[in-house]
Amino acid sequence: MSIKENKATIYRVFAEITKGNLEIIDECFADSFIRNAADGTEMGKDGYKQLCGLLVKAFPDFRITINDIVAEGDRAAFRFTWSGTMPGVAGSVTAGNHIAVTEDYFCRFKDGKIIEFKNLVDQLIGHKARLEENKVLVRRVYEQINQGKLDAFFNLCTADYVEHLTDRDMSLEQSKEFEARFFVDFGNINITVNHMVAEGDEVAVMVTWRATHKGTGKKIEMTNANIFKIANGKFTEIWNVTDIRLAQQLGMVPGH
């Protein structure tokens, strides 16, 4: 492919991703594609497609803008900005927040396909972008749970995922069973994100769960503090602390 064609491919790829057409990744990316982030982590084609899907779904006005492209032979360097406004829910501190992150990428083509993306930005900017991506991932999980799509979370967990409770640790399968029982016992589940901070490969969140206990009809409200550990767009661990008000509201333990 010519330099002109390579540039046109880059513009086309991100224009289609902005529209939500993720099939463009299958069309224009090689099966051996690798995205090398500024922090040294790698992501394959499927992982990159999943990441783009999460961003598109997380922001109703998600947009990628190509700011500049410089190309030579089978290589190109380009700067782009991805942005969007958090929809949130009433009472959420993140609702209405606008996010804009600018990144510089090195791109390599082989046999007419994109085979590599690599960050050219300094570590500070690359680190910021990764933090925003991780926070988007966590926000998307809560949105999916509010829609009753519990599997959406577990599909983003590694095979060796561990959930740490105050009294025990659970494997991925044990966590699936534990959470499934909660959804059997409770309906009208709604989660509000109150606070979220990110550092390194971890995202800490404080959320409020509201639901109706199916057996008693009681409406309950509880606060959870979670710390998610993320690697290559997947959850590897979560630390989960729940306040005691749930048991109190159901009459399982005495209130104050």
CATH number, position 20 = 3.10.450.50
Is residue 46 located within the same domain as residue 115? Answer: yes
Q: Is residue 230 part of a domain?
A: yes
Q: Is residue 143 part of a domain?
A: no
Note the pTM of the prediction, 2 decimals: 0.55
Q: Is residue 15 part of a domain?
A: yes
211 touches 220 (CB < 8 A) = yes
Q: Is residue 21 part of a domain?
A: yes
Q: Is residue 161 part of a domain?
A: yes
pLDDT of 255? 44
Identify which of 84-88, 158-162, 188-192, 219-223 has the greatest average pLDDT.
Answer: 158-162
Is residue 82 located within the same domain as residue 181? Answer: no
Is residue 117 located within the same domain as residue 188? Answer: no
Is residue 81 located within the same domain as residue 156? Answer: no
Q: Is residue 136 part of a domain?
A: no
Closest to 88 measured CA to CA, from 227, 199, 195: 195
- Tens-digit pLDDT profile for residues 77-116: 898 988 888 765 444 545 577 778 788 889 999 999 999 9
Is residue 24 located within the same domain as residue 100? Answer: yes
For residues 88 and 92, give the distance between their C-alpha atoms in angstroms, rounded to a whole number: 6
Is residue 240 located within the same domain as residue 174? Answer: yes
Is residue 82 located within the same domain as residue 38? Answer: yes
Is residue 98 located within the same domain as residue 162? Answer: no
Q: Is the pLDDT of residue 6 over 90?
A: yes
Is residue 97 located within the same domain as residue 178? Answer: no
- Tens-digit pLDDT profile for residues 25-70: 999 999 999 998 766 678 899 989 988 888 888 788 999 999 989 8
Phi, psi at residue 43, to the nearest 5°? Answer: -145, 135
Q: Is residue 131 part of a domain?
A: no
Number of domains the chain is built from: 2
Q: Which domain holds residue 18?
A: 3-121
Sequence-ordered list of residues with C-beta below 8 angstroms from that of 129, at least 6 positions apart, any chain:
38, 101, 103, 121
Q: How do the residues of the chain divide into helix, strand and coil, expressed in percent and rounded to 5?
A: 35, 45, 25
Q: Is residue 177 part of a domain?
A: yes
Which of these three, 79, 102, 121, is where a domain ends? 121
